[in-house]
């Protein structure tokens, strides 16, 4: 079972991913929790290059290829072997982030993005993708409340985030069997319960298919 979490920065998706992993670990022996970009030694080094605030000159093409290089290593080294052993993999971001941020956000050609994603993931698609959706206004609010300094990606402007959000929504609408969209402005336990219900149903259905 392969589950991914997607959403804008500060959407709360990482919190929800963590809560899901904790719950799954109470019932299943092996649950891998991976964050993107990162998850292997090589991928973590690529992550540092990508998020470094000094790297303002990075071209959009270099950016997508670095995210994808990081993912290619992760898929080969960690995700595929775990799925082959029928273990559960939960990923905080995956190739839908690339479609949303580099495709819809930066405006790179969507067909090219699709090809790069297929290559990087060996066409390994999640069984379920959770989109934690929040309005861009809410991000601004959460950002200023947190009072943190931002990495290179998080310093992108408001219009960029609007495009990314709309891209996510479009992807979810195009593939409703794989995606669920949860309202990230709801209380954390409520969102968690909605996600858990969907995961349980997916798992039951998968078991039925394998019998």
Binding site for ligand TYD (CB under 6 A): 9, 14, 36-37, 51, 67, 92-93, 97-98, 101-102, 151, 153-154
Phi first, then psi, for residue 35 (nearest 5°) are -115, 145
3-class DSSP assignment, residue 75? helix
H-helix or E-strand containing 5?
A: strand 2-7
Cβ proximity to ligand TYD: between 93 and 165 the closer is 93
User: How many residues does the structure list for the chain?
Assistant: 211
Closest CA to 160 of 107, 206, 201, 112: 107
Joined together, the tokens standing for residue 69 give 């290089």
Shortest approach of ligand TYD to residue 97 CB, angstroms? 4
Whole-number minimum distance, CB 86 to ligand TYD, in Å? 25
Alpha-carbon distance 2 to 90, whole Å? 6
* Closer residue to ligand TYD, CB minimum distance, 71 or 181: 71
Nearer to ligand TYD, 9 or 127 (CB): 9
Looking at residue 181, the DSSP 8-state letter turns out to be E
Question: Closer to ligand TYD at the Cβ: 2 or 203?
Answer: 2
In contact, 164 and 186? CB cutoff 8 Å: no
Considering the complex, what minimum distance in angstroms separates the CB of residue 14 from ligand TYD? 5
* C-beta of residue 20 within 8 angstroms of C-beta of residue 108: no
Q: Which is nearer to ligand TYD, 165 or 203 (CB)?
A: 165
DSSP-based three-state secondary structure for 129: strand
Q: How far is the CB of 204 from ligand TYD (least distance, A)?
A: 29
Q: How far apart are the C-alpha atoms of 121 and 114, rounded to whole Å?
A: 11
**Closer residue to ligand TYD in complex, CB, 16/192:** 16
- Cβ proximity of 94 and 117 under 8 Å: no
């Amino acid at each position: 079972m392969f589950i991914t979490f997607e959403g804008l920065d500060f959407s709360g998706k990482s919190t929800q991913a963590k809560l899901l992993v904790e719950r799954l670990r109470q019932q299943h022996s092996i649950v891998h929790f991976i964050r993107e970009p990162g998850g292997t030694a090589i991928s973590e080094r690529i992550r540092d290059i990508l998020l470094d605030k000094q790297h303002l000159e990075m071209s959009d093409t270099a950016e997508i290829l670095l995210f994808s290089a990081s993912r290619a290593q992760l898929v080969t080294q960690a995700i595929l072997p775990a799925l082959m052993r029928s273990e559960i993999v939960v990923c905080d971001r995956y190739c839908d982030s690339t479609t949303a941020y580099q495709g819809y956000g930066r405006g790179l050609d969507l067909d090219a993005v699709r090809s790069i994603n297929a290559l990087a993931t060996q066409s390994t698609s999640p069984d379920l993708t959770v989109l934690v959706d929040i309005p861009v206004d809410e991000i601004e609010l959460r950002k200023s409340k947190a009072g943190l300094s931002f990495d290179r990606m998080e310093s992108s402007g408001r219009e960029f985030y609007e495009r990314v959000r709309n891209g996510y929504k479009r992807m979810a609408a195009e593939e409703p069997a794989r995606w669920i969209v949860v309202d990230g402005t709801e209380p954390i336990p409520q969102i968690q319960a909605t996600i858990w219900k969907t995961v349980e149903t997916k798992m039951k259905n998968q078991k039925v298919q394998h019998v």
